[in-house]
Structure 1
Amino acid sequence: MTRVPILEPSEAYALWAPNYPAHAHNPVMLAEQRAMLSLMPTTMQGQSVLDAGCGSGRYMLQMLRRGATRGTGIDLSEAMLARARSEIGAHPDGVHVAWMQGSLMALPVLDAYADTSVCGLVVGHLENLHQALSELRRVTRPGGTILCSDVHPIGHALGWLRDFKAGGHRYAVRHTAHLYSHWHAACAALRLSIEDVLEPMLDPADIPDGARFDQAALEVPVALVFRLRRMP
């Protein structure tokens, strides 16, 4: 079996960005996104929002559609930020969106900036879950909402890779599995209230005909999705 190179996130997304879609583009992402959107407020009128690890901007777009008027998208990859800028495009009068390069470990945003902070499928790229959640807490106002998702740790245990193709070659992004117990301990230490936890399963209808995949993926959850509340 050919060994798939495991790349650091910055290197991986520089390669992936030119062909990275601005929407959920595989069955795991579709399952994760359905769960995230079910926990996102249906109306966010006038809110300030943060998309940490925004990628091509799929969650920023959802929050703008729900009425957010001030948003900041942050990503480590300048190439992914360029995709987000081009995909989101112009905004109506009264709506302001900024795109900034930065790390989830030290977000370049003022304290209590956001009413709602979103971080989709990013924390698995980091080893220090506590520091990532600490930063998300810092930039979210007291009483505000934090929506977070990650690939379910059971997938890591089954040997699944976060892989992609670029230039005719297959690569994978380095991933660290964070167990629910790790999330619980970090949230307790940081005074983040866990309001909801979802463990979405794949929808067989999302799997393309003839796709080759681990059949166990239909029997286990594929993502962990959290709605957290910053306590005063």
Structure 2
Amino acid sequence: MIYEHPLAYVLGVEGLALLRSYRGEHDREFVDARLTEIRKLLDDDTLATAAVEVARVETVEGYEIWSKTYDDPNSAFDIDEPIVHGIVDALPAGVALDAACGTGRLAAHLAGRGHRILGVDSSPDMLERARARVPQGDFRLGDLSRLPIPDDAVDLVVCSLALTHVADLGPALAEFARVLRPGGHVVTSDIHPEGVARGVVPSVRLAGGRPGRVATYHHLIGDYIRAALAAGLQVRRCEEPRHPRADTAVPAAAETLGPWDLWPWCLDDLVPEAARAILAGTPTMVIWHFQLSG
């Protein structure tokens, strides 16, 4: 069980923003404003009594729930798609595996670029939606650490927003390398480890409206590199885009807590200046392009 306290979250945001002042990023006015805001937060009874116990939900169960709304507007899609599409569109068409394909978001794009599509996901509900979206694709139930794909079968593997849900990157990257033909490519996107550390973890609602969090693991940038190199994959490109809101005007602070289904990101609205200071200097996603030695 995960214990989530809104006061702890917003104080953490304030603290991260204040630490930036030690790098010379903020002036005295910013620091004084943060300290004043912290005092106000500590006196807010609505925050002090709003803590919740949140269930840790395994991936299959979590994505079964999430599949019904997975294709709703999602800022992560807006951030990774231009970069991922730019990488894969420069590669020749061939056999492409969408690993942890979800509802077939990337598979649909690759099919439109002339690739023959294979898709693997551990959620039957996600696969059902992927088959409807890309009817010419071959979608199979399976796990990232044991892909139901033969050796040397594909030219490209894409994997979006999934590797943060595996405890160990090694087996998944080794599987990507196994199914690739020599010289093949791997393109992955994930929530940046900085974001995972701040609690950017998918939320779901369980029976009776109980809050849950899909099991998520904090992989460092070096963890991706070590796992890739061990599998015989070489780094071709790494991108760490920031959130688009990092460059927009700071909104006025919200007066009340946002909807709990957006927890904890809605809490940023209570401390928008501190939250924007973090966004301005912190990547929101990490996107990798690897290539198998040929």
The TM-score normalised by the length of structure 1 is 0.86
Superposed CA deviations along residues 150-173 of structure 1, whole A, max 9, x for unmatched, are 211111222332224466554221
Pick the aligned partner of 2:289 from 203, 227, 230.
227
- The answer to whether residue 100 in structure 2 is matched with residue 53 in structure 1 is yes
**In the alignment, does 2:251 pair up with 1:204?**
no
Provide the rounded CA distance (Å) in 2 between the counterparts of 1:60 and 1:169: 33
CA distance in 1, matches of 2:121, 2:235: 25
Superposed structure 1 runs of 4+ greater than 4 Å apart: 165-169
Report the AA paired with residue 28 of structure 1. Answer: A
Given that 1:43 and 1:66 are in contact with CA atoms closer than 8 Å, whether structure 2 keeps it comes out as no
Most deviating of 211-220 and 106-115:
211-220
SS in 1 for 2:131: helix
Mapped partners of 1:29, 1:164: distance in 2: 18
Aligned to 2:21: none
TM alignment of 1:138-177, pairs within 5 A: 138-165=178-205, 168-177=209-218
Please name the residue that 2:82 is paired with.
34
Amino acid at match of 2:152: A
Is 1:62 equivalent to 2:102 in the alignment?
no
Is the Cα–Cα contact under 8 Å of residues 51 and 72 in structure 1 kept in the other structure?
yes
- The verdict on how the C-alpha distance between 1:162 and 1:78 changes in structure 2, with shifts beyond 3 A counting, is same
Work out the CA distance in 1 between the residues paired with 2:178 and 2:232.
11
Partner of 1:5: 55
Q: Does 2:116 match 1:75?
A: no
Q: Secondary structure at the match of 2:107?
A: helix
After superposition, what is the alpha-carbon deviation per residue over 1:98-130, rounded to whole angstroms, capped at 9, x for unaligned?
110000000000111111110111111111101
Q: 5+ residue gaps in structure 1?
A: 92-96
User: What's the counterpart of residue 32 of structure 2?
Assistant: none
Deviation at 1:195, TM superposition (A): 0.3
Q: What is the distance in 2 between the residues matched to 1:80 and 1:147?
A: 20
* Residue identity matched to 1:29: F
Work out the CA distance in 2 between the residues paired with 1:29 and 1:165: 21
Of residues 100, 103, 124, the one that matches 2:143 is 103
State the secondary structure of the residue aligned to 2:229.
helix
**Structure with greater helix share of residues:** 2
Aligned length: 221
Alpha-carbon deviations, 1:36-62, whole Å to 9, x = none? 2222124643x1110000000000001
1:166 and 1:200, CA in 2 relative to 1: closer, same or farther beyond 3 A? farther
Q: Judging changes above 3 Å, is the alpha-carbon distance between structure 1 residues 65 and 43 closer, same or farther for their aligned structure 2 residues?
A: farther
Distance 1:181 1:165 in 2: 33
Q: Specify the SS of the correspondent of 1:224.
A: strand
Deviation at 1:218, TM superposition (A): 4.6
SS at match of 1:14: helix
Residue 134 of structure 1: which of 170, 174, 190 is its match? Answer: 174
Post-superposition Cα deviations, 1:131-188, rounded to whole Å, max 9, x if no partner, equal 1100000111100111012211111222332224466554221101111111121222
Q: Percent identity?
A: 29
Structure 2 residue aligned with 1:14, among 64, 72, 77? 64
In the TM superposition, residue 217 of structure 1 has moved relative to its aligned partner by: 3.5
For the pair shown, which has the larger CA radius of gyration, 1 or 2? 2
Assess if the C-alpha contact under 8 Å between 2:245 and 2:279 holds in 1. no
8 Å CA contact 2:65, 2:204 repeated in 1 = no
- Which is strand-richer, 1 or 2? 1
Contact 2:60–2:122, Cα closer than 8 Å, also in 1: yes
Structure 2 unaligned residues grouped into runs of 5+: 1-50, 259-265, 269-274
